[in-house]
Amino acid sequence: MKKTFKKLAAMGLTATSLVSLVACGSSGNGTASNTEETKKEVAKPESITVMNDITFTESNGAQAFYDYVASLTGLNIRWIHPDHSGYYDTVANAFTSEETMPDVVLMSSDYYSVYAANGLLWNMTDAFEQSDLKKSGRLVSTADEVIQACMVAGDDGKKALYGFPTAQGGGSVTYIKSSWLKAAGINPQDVDRKQLDFNTYYSYLKKMADAKGHYVLSAPGFASLNAPYTNYLPEFYQKAQYSFYEKADGTFADGFSEQAMKDALQRIQTAVTEGVLDKESVNNSTANCREKFFSTQEDSESGAFTYWAGDWTYSLKTTLESRGLDSEFVVLKPIKELGSYVNTLPVTWSITSACKNPEGVFKYFIEAMLDGDKVQEAFTYGAKGTHWDTKAETVTLQDAEGAGTTYTEGQWHHLPSPEKPYSLTMKNCIDPLLALAKYKTEDPGAGQIPEISKELEAFFLENSTMDKALPVNATLSENIADINTARNYVVSKVALSYMTVDEGMDYYQKTAGAKVNEVLKSLNNK
């Protein structure tokens, strides 16, 4: 164990540098493994320490959820829930010593890769393969693809499962307001769920810009700070790779240096210059971008943007309605040049190498999250009596008009959020529309999920492919922050016409070219 901590330090994997590795994708293989045949009888853990970043904070009923899980599983669990903004700093600090490491930790794919690659996570491949869950037949049709995406290579060079995803990652689709299409003389039915090519799509954007007299499309950044980077402007990036990627022949390349990226940057620059794409996208946050879609101010409103499917589809529609705006919008099928949207890599529950009974933790805690029964219900919707209930009652949101909604005995329903009583508690850490396993009978909360959310999540899954991960090594770790700084600088400068595409690429090569070459040599073992 001491060796792995030294290795982390040698790689510069402090809490600060780990943040920069969100750019790297994922991959990892810990030295702790489950290679021996699993015993027939797996001992139930006496106690478990779980570090998590799930939905429920202390003010939002976390303790009620913890108590409910304990009553269902019979496990003595000590939950550690750091502040969301500093979660991965806290995780990094906990991993500086075996004595402070939790038994279980919830991680995004990027961080998961780093810790697995340095021998700090337990290899749960055999545990899953021999699990009741694997044999149950309840895993969804895409589960194997998602789990394979979480098979990552680590310090021994072999790929294995070091974290279990309870749901798919999900992703974004492009929304366009029907009213804006109509204003430009375009029939929304000619766009909705139709596959256009880029030229047709862009011509529609231009017509809407001309009709409205200002930009149409706004994005939270011309490129995202985190992988997969290009997901908020997919029609413009198309198949361009923002970072390092593995080619069909098994070698690695720098996508940012390729012609496809040059073409993408030119499309973005042209769209900004022609007033189609909001130039303030360079400073937009996701919240700011949403507000522009919801805005009633004509001079700052946008008519299109790419954002999450599922729950957010319903939120977009209801927010437009609440502000007295036309809530009708269409959803664009991935354009021909793009092919498919990106299904992002999911968060995973990992068992650390410090855990004394990893087999038991997997069976009685992680596998139980997808038991198709009460525990899965808890991790999907929260605690009965706090976040949802089945008793006869009338539920009224704070400050809502009307008498509320009345439910009969046995009728499953959401309850107002303890933290925000003016809205319902809709879900916990498993998205019911993306869960990796079905219920033994039926999802108890399925009847409460808006049809538009179900429909759009299904549409997204039908038109998306899983994101791919990259391996993590010392050279990549040491250089990725500087490389991404150069990439982000080039994108913003080119988008706003402070640089031509060629000038931007020349700057990138002069600033980061040597480091890019070092990384490629290390990835290709040259």
Q: Which pLDDT does position 141 carry in this prediction?
A: 93
Q: Which pLDDT does position 20 carry in this prediction?
A: 42
Q: What is the rounded CA–CA span in Å between residue 172 and residue 457?
A: 9
DSSP string, 259-302: HHHHHHHHHHHHHHHTTSB-GGGGT--HHHHHHHHH---GGG--
Q: Which pLDDT does position 202 carry in this prediction?
A: 98
- The structural architecture, per CATH, of the domain 172-343+469-523 is 3-Layer(aba) Sandwich (3.40)
Beta pairing partners, 160: 152
Closest to 352 measured CA to CA, from 80, 176, 98: 98
Closest to 217 measured CA to CA, from 331, 304, 332: 304
pLDDT digits (tens, 9 = 90+) for 359-383: 999 999 999 999 999 999 999 999 9
pTM for the predicted model, two decimal places: 0.88
Q: Do domains 25-169+346-380 and 172-343+469-523 have the same CATH topology?
A: yes
Closest to 387 measured CA to CA, from 421, 414, 412: 414
Strands 172-177, 329-332: pairing kind: antiparallel
Q: What is the rounded CA–CA span in Å between residue 103 and residue 352?
A: 5
CB 222 within 8 A of CB 492: yes
Q: What is the rounded CA–CA span in Å between residue 285 and residue 281?
A: 8
Backbone phi, psi, residue 75, to 5° = -95, 145
CB 268 within 8 A of CB 282: no
CB 125 within 8 A of CB 35: no
CA 522, distance to chain mean position in Å, is 28
Domain residue limits, the chain: 25-169+346-380, 172-343+469-523
Specify the DSSP element, H or E, that contains 77. Answer: strand 77-80
Helix (H, G, I), strand (E, B) or coil at 404: coil
Q: Which pLDDT does position 118 carry in this prediction?
A: 84
Please state which CATH number belongs to domain 25-169+346-380.
Answer: 3.40.190.10
Q: Which pLDDT does position 40 carry in this prediction?
A: 61
Beta strands in 378-441 (DSSP E): 388-389, 393-395, 405-407, 413-414
Instruction: Tally Cβ neighbours within 10 Å of residue 503.
Output: 13
Q: In the chain, which stretches have pLDDT less than 70?
A: 1-40, 298-300, 526
Q: Which pLDDT does position 298 carry in this prediction?
A: 66
pLDDT digits (tens, 9 = 90+) for 439-475: 999 999 999 999 999 999 999 999 999 998 777 788 8
Q: Which pLDDT does position 472 carry in this prediction?
A: 77
DSSP string, 155-211: TTS-EEE-SB-SB----EEEEEEHHHHHHTT--GGGTTT----HHHHHHHHHHHHHH
CB-side neighbour CA atoms (13 Å) of 433? 27
